[in-house]
Amino acid sequence: MRVTAYAYKLERGATVLRSEVLLLLWQENLTFDGSSGSFDFLELFSGKGEVTKLWRDHGFRCCSVDLDYADCMDFEKHSTFALCLWAILNEVPDAFNVLAPVCGSWSTVSRGSTLRNYVNPMGHQPYNSVAFGNRMTSKCVLLILVMLACNCIFALEQPSQSLMPRHKRLEWLLNRVAYVYEVHFWAMHYGKECPKRTMMLSNLRTISTLDRGVLSNAEKVAKHKVETTRIAVHTSIYNHLVLDPVAPVPRSYTRAFGERLLELYQHGRTETRYDLRTRPKIPKGKSDKELFEELQLGDIWYESKCHETFLYLFESKHLRTEWNALLG
């Protein structure tokens, strides 16, 4: 089976992920042969899903996941992570995946409370917001590993000053696993209501042309429609700040940005990509059961809670009964 081979091509450092993929394959209520539809595009943390809508309008088979759609799409839930794995395993080769994980604890403005910095990017981990950011990033890296193993394309988006690329798992992915291109651009060039200097990491070479150059002050003033916070400084015995919050910036991409992504994807999808530089060899002639028996525990990526997803799949009532002896 094609996806069984892909499961074994995953990095040796993510053995628990390979186990999860195999457990997912053994669920009787799931299909991986295209009968439930194969996907061309996946948008994770999609918000309003403008990019998904545009790609669907162009005839692509799309899947989008976001908590805004339903509580069952909470990325913190084991079922949602398993759903993302299932969607990726049902993608066609060269499918495009856009990930825009929550940037809250990784941004510049939160560094005073998260204690993140370039030397200590993992921050003060006892804080819930910091632990959530670290856990979410690790899970995104695990999903990207599956995308690479399935010969798919990914694009990870963050604010330009985000420290997420310094996360130990993502840094390992960028430096040791895949050849990734980094580009910084102004979102306002694609119709965003605020400038938002943005960073995107992708294994698609043409993604580097997202940058349309300098955003002039005149253009910024003319197009700027959203203010996040106005700050007034009052002079008295003690200087203090008065914050006047207004409507938050919409958490979504524009259709113009989706059109540009589609254009770059169509130009670059056929180019050779150099992914999984440390890909292990696949033992020929072995079944998925034999592959599972040979797996060593290794690094379980504890901070991602990936092992809990393994237990969720292991305890599923839909797990094929013939594997009970092996898993018991």
Output the DSSP codes for 203-233: S-GGGGGG------HHHHHHH----SEEEEE
Distance CA 253, CA 60 (A): 18
pTM of the model: 0.86
In a domain, 202, yes or no: yes
Output the DSSP codes for 296-318: ------GGGTHHHHHHHHHT-TT
In a domain, 234, yes or no: no
Distance CA 79, CA 85 (A): 10
Tell me which residue has tokens 């349309």: 212
> 195 is in which domain, residue-wise?
2-224+250-327
pLDDT at residue number 243: 47
Distance CA 205, CA 211 (A): 13
In a domain, 167, yes or no: yes
In a domain, 191, yes or no: yes
In a domain, 8, yes or no: yes
pLDDT string in tens for the chain (328-residue length): 455 555 545 554 567 788 888 888 888 888 887 655 689 999 999 988 999 999 999 999 999 999 889 888 999 999 999 999 999 999 999 999 999 999 889 998 899 999 999 999 999 999 999 999 999 999 999 999 999 888 899 999 999 999 999 999 999 999 888 889 999 999 999 988 888 899 999 999 999 999 999 998 888 888 877 665 555 445 554 444 444 454 455 567 899 999 999 999 999 998 887 665 655 566 667 776 676 666 666 777 888 888 889 889 888 888 877 665 555 5
pLDDT at residue number 283: 66
In a domain, 231, yes or no: no
Number of domains comprising the chain: 1
* 77 backbone dihedrals φ, ψ, rounded to 5°: -80, 145
In a domain, 273, yes or no: yes
Check the CA dihedral 75-78-83-86 and report its sign. Answer: positive
In a domain, 232, yes or no: no
